Amino acid sequence: MSTNLWPFKKRPTSFRCHAEEASLTEDLAHALVEFCKHRGNRDLLLICIGTDRSTGDSLGPLVGNLLEGQNLNHFHVHGTLAEPIHAANMEKRLASIYKKHPNAFVVALDACLGKTANVGYITLSAEPLKPGAAMGKNLPEIGDICLTGIVNVGGLMDFYMLQSTRLHVVMSMAQKISKAVAAADQQLSALQTAKTKKAFSFMPTKTEPL
């Protein structure tokens, strides 16, 4: 669980939208594309943090599961219900992922606690994720950017709040985030195709000598 939106800290965010907003999928996909399209030739990773042993902390692996069966062209997704990435295995799993994808552009995804008025909001921030900080765990920062969903209220009895979070809330949020990632992947493919066509249009045509 991340504390990027911890109720006693203010952090800059580049995108923020409630999960019930009709335009969430489209807007989040656009925001993701804007962050990711300038990564150059770096591999694009989506690292989904969390565990299915805690309802509130299952957002990441639920998103990973929803994306696992899709044929994404750009996002390499890590962290699912079957193979979650959490505090107990994080350093080992990240070392393995980074060995396979050195110098990758990483989008880190995690559940988050926040103020009552902010529950249900999804944010995309231009900063690394700080997983486990709310539980006092010293874990490495993850990612070039972070994607967080505020699943419940934070500040007191955080472990209990995560355990008592409704699965419906987390699942609904996971479905919308996964749709946004899939849409962003399609948009990145369209941009790549357009860029290739533009490059070929500037190539000189070969003419036969007179």
Per-residue pLDDT 10s for the chain (210 aa) are: 655 544 444 444 479 999 999 999 999 999 999 999 889 899 999 999 999 998 989 999 999 999 998 999 999 999 999 999 998 999 999 999 999 999 999 999 999 888 889 999 999 999 999 887 655 667 889 999 999 999 988 776 677 677 778 999 999 999 999 999 999 999 999 988 887 776 666 555 555 554
Q: How many residues does the chain have?
A: 210
pLDDT the model gives residue 195: 77
Does a structural domain hold residue 65? yes
How many domains does the chain contain in total?
A: 1
Reading phi first (left if > 0) and then psi (alpha if -120 to 50, else beta), residue 31 is in alpha
Contact 60, 50 (CB under 8 A): yes
pLDDT the model gives residue 138: 72
pLDDT the model gives residue 207: 55
What is the residue range of 95's domain? 14-188
- pTM, rounded to two decimals: 0.85
Nearest to 65 by CA among 48, 45, 53: 48
Contact 127, 145 (CB under 8 A): yes
Number of Cβ atoms within 10 Å of the Cβ of 189: 13
**CATH code of the domain covering residue 149:** 3.40.50.1450
pLDDT the model gives residue 203: 56
pLDDT the model gives residue 11: 42
Does a structural domain hold residue 6? no
Does a structural domain hold residue 204? no
Does a structural domain hold residue 4? no
pLDDT the model gives residue 208: 52
Number of H helices, E strands in the chain: 5, 6
pLDDT the model gives residue 147: 96
Does a structural domain hold residue 7? no
Does a structural domain hold residue 184? yes
